[in-house]
C-alpha cells in the first residue's frame, strides 16, 4: 500500500529548455501531492487500485481527483471504476485498450482495440493543451475555454468502431 499526503516533488533537467504554460516533463514541480493506492503489483505488468490521487503542477494543471483500478501490460491498458477530475474536466467509468504491441499501434493505430464507457463526461481544451500544446493550432482546440461534453459507449478496433452511444 502507498499513502502519501501533501508532499512536494521537483525534477529539473538543466539540459532541457523550459516550456511554461504546458506540462514540461524536463522541469516538473508538483505540490500538494496526495496518493492513496493498494494492491500494487509490478512484475511483467503493473496493477494498482488508486483510492485517491491529486496534485498541483507549476504549469497550472491541477488534478483534483483520480480514482480507479488500473492495469498495464505489454498488450493492454485498463482503467475500471475510473474518475479523473480537474477544475474543468470530469472523465469517469471504463476505458480498455488492447493491442498486439505498442510498436504495432504506432505504425497502425487501426490495430488498437478500444472499449470505452464514458457517461456524462466533460473534457476541457485547457487540460488537453497542457499535454499537447501543438493542438492549439487546430481549429477544434484553439479556444482553451472550450469544454466538450461526451457520453459514449464504444467498442471495436479503431479502424472499425461500434458505438452503442456516442454524443
Give yes or no for residue 165 having a pLDDT over 90: no
Report, as an integer, the average pLDDT of 98-103. 93
DSSP structure string for 87-115: SS-EEEEEEEEE-S-HHHHHH-GGG-EEE
pLDDT grade, residue 167 (50/70/90)? confident
- Residue 145's H or E segment, with its range, is none
Structural contact between residues 124 and 77, judged by C-beta atoms closer than 8 angstroms: no
- CA gap 73, 47 in Å, rounded: 9
Query: 147: which residues sit within 8 A by CB, 6+ positions away?
Result: 88, 89, 122, 123, 124, 125
- pLDDT tens-place string over residues 124-148: 999 999 999 999 999 999 999 999 9
Residue 64's closest CA among 72, 76, 56? 56
Q: What is the pLDDT of residue 104?
A: 92
- pLDDT tens-place string over residues 56-90: 999 999 999 999 999 999 999 999 999 999 999 99
- CA gap 15, 17 in Å, rounded: 7
Structural contact between residues 149 and 121, judged by C-beta atoms closer than 8 angstroms: yes
Structural contact between residues 11 and 1, judged by C-beta atoms closer than 8 angstroms: no
- pLDDT tens-place string over residues 8-20: 999 999 999 998 8
Report, as an integer, the average pLDDT of 138-164. 94
- pLDDT tens-place string over residues 28-67: 999 999 999 999 999 999 999 999 999 999 999 999 999 9
- CA gap 22, 59 in Å, rounded: 5
Gyration radius (Cα) of the chain, Å:
17
Q: What is the pLDDT of residue 120?
A: 94
Amino acid at each position: 500500500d502507498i499513502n502519501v499526503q501533501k508532499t512536494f516533488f521537483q525534477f529539473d533537467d538543466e539540459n532541457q529548455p523550459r516550456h511554461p504554460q504546458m506540462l514540461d516533463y524536463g522541469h516538473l514541480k508538483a505540490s500538494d501531492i496526495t496518493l492513496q493506492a493498494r494492491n500494487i503489483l509490478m512484475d511483467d505488468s503493473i496493477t494498482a487500485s488508486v483510492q485517491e490521487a491529486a496534485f498541483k503542477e507549476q504549469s497550472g494543471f491541477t488534478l483534483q481527483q483520480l480514482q480507479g483500478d488500473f492495469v498495464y501490460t505489454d498488450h493492454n491498458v485498463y482503467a475500471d471504476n475510473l474518475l479523473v477530475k480537474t477544475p474543468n474536466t470530469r472523465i469517469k467509468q471504463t476505458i480498455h485498450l488492447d493491442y498486439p504491441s505498442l510498436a504495432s499501434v504506432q505504425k497502425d493505430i487501426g490495430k488498437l482495440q478500444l472499449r470505452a464507457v464514458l457517461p456524462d463526461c466533460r473534457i476541457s481544451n485547457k487540460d488537453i493543451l497542457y499535454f499537447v500544446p501543438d493542438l492549439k493550432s487546430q481549429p477544434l482546440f484553439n479556444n482553451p475555454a472550450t469544454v466538450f461534453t461526451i457520453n459514449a459507449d464504444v467498442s471495436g478496433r479503431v479502424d472499425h468502431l461500434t458505438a452503442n452511444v456516442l454524443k
